[in-house]
Structure 1
């Protein structure tokens, strides 16, 4: 952050653009095309944001070889300051993404077809490390990968008001997996 520019206040509530959406959720077997799809969007985002995109990472289940997933590519992009939306939001909208979520410390844009979610966080936000910690664990630990897939399958047998409710229901197993990784580091 530039020293002469004061930090702006962030939003204090979740703004879900378009409201709650009930969507059909299903898991697909791992698709070898998911990394290429990520790479296409990585190039698109880098072209749109230039120096404003500090880090880009493929996250979520589609980033884990062998893991069944909802066919939605999740991308993590870090920016200098999350509240400086003029540095990234208009450019992403011009590149074809739509704003879906504005919440404290996080913005999410997606493709109109809803098959790519771009999560924007501020560089240095602890959530960045959490996303990568979880992804990397699933990539390297077959037991935790299987546990997570079993949990997702069990949850998808239920009806959900929207994807956010389904995502929230996975929090317990995600937290337990991350806690095991952290405990193994000590």
Structure 2
């Protein structure tokens, strides 16, 4: 991801940076909604009980495949106090080898989870499962996968930055109002990318040259650090 050339030197990007992809979720959105057990529901004000839901699902996972669990992490909007969200718990689960499905998938399915995607994100294999109650997205990864690291950074950043919580909440509401939710994830993708840019620029451990979305000057991102 690093080392893109620029006039007079080298462009340095954060190790978790990914280029902007405006329509990355279009192919998956319909299937994501159709194949899950429980509809995601509308965006609503944050509910403190979502943390309890995460704890409940985390215990179910640990009780079901404890020997396979490396990490269970609550991510996404329901993990950020004060942020409006669809009432779906997003969880990143790290197992020794996501492609060794026999080690974890049958017991999770027996416990009520449903596999709806086998794919790759940022080049890493990924399995997406859902649970009916509490309504859950379970994302399964191998150690070292990039996307769960991005999820953790995004969740922590929003928790600490009120202005970007407000930006993201507004983008979520606008995305729902624009299409009724059919292209919800793609319509908020610009806000997500811009928030990542600010998080990367503020990271004290990694240098990041601004990478604004096409058509935007670097000052749009760099000038909105929080």
The TM-score normalised by the length of structure 1 is 0.83
Q: After TM superposition, list the pairs within 5 Å mapping 1:62-73 onto structure 2.
A: 62-73=78-89
* Residue 155 of structure 2: aligned partner: 135
Question: Structure 2 unaligned runs (5+)?
Answer: 1-26, 208-226
* Residue 152 of structure 1: aligned partner: 172
Structure 1 position 113, deviation (Å): 5.2
Classify the secondary structure of the residue corresponding to 1:157. helix
Does the CA contact (< 8 Å) of 1:25 and 1:156 recur in 2? no
Does the CA contact (< 8 Å) of 1:57 and 1:75 recur in 2? yes
* Residue 58 of structure 2: aligned partner: 42
* Residue 166 of structure 1: aligned partner: 184
* Residue 9 of structure 2: aligned partner: none
Does the CA contact (< 8 Å) of 1:77 and 1:119 recur in 2? yes
Does the CA contact (< 8 Å) of 1:97 and 1:112 recur in 2? yes
Question: Structure 1 unaligned runs (5+)?
Answer: 1-14
Q: After TM superposition, list the pairs within 5 Å mapping 1:55-66 onto structure 2.
A: 55-66=71-82
Work out the CA distance in 2 between the residues paired with 1:161 and 1:30: 19
Q: Deviations over 1:67-109 (max 9, x none)?
A: 1100001111011112111111111101111111111211111
Change (3 A) 1:73 1:139: same
Structure 1 residue runs of 4 or more that deviate by more than 4 Å after TM superposition: 22-25
Does the CA contact (< 8 Å) of 2:33 and 2:40 recur in 1? no
Work out the CA distance in 2 between the residues paired with 1:108 and 1:24: 15
1:88 to 101, 104, 127: 104
Does the CA contact (< 8 Å) of 1:82 and 1:121 recur in 2? yes
Work out the CA distance in 1 between the residues paired with 2:59 and 2:48: 19
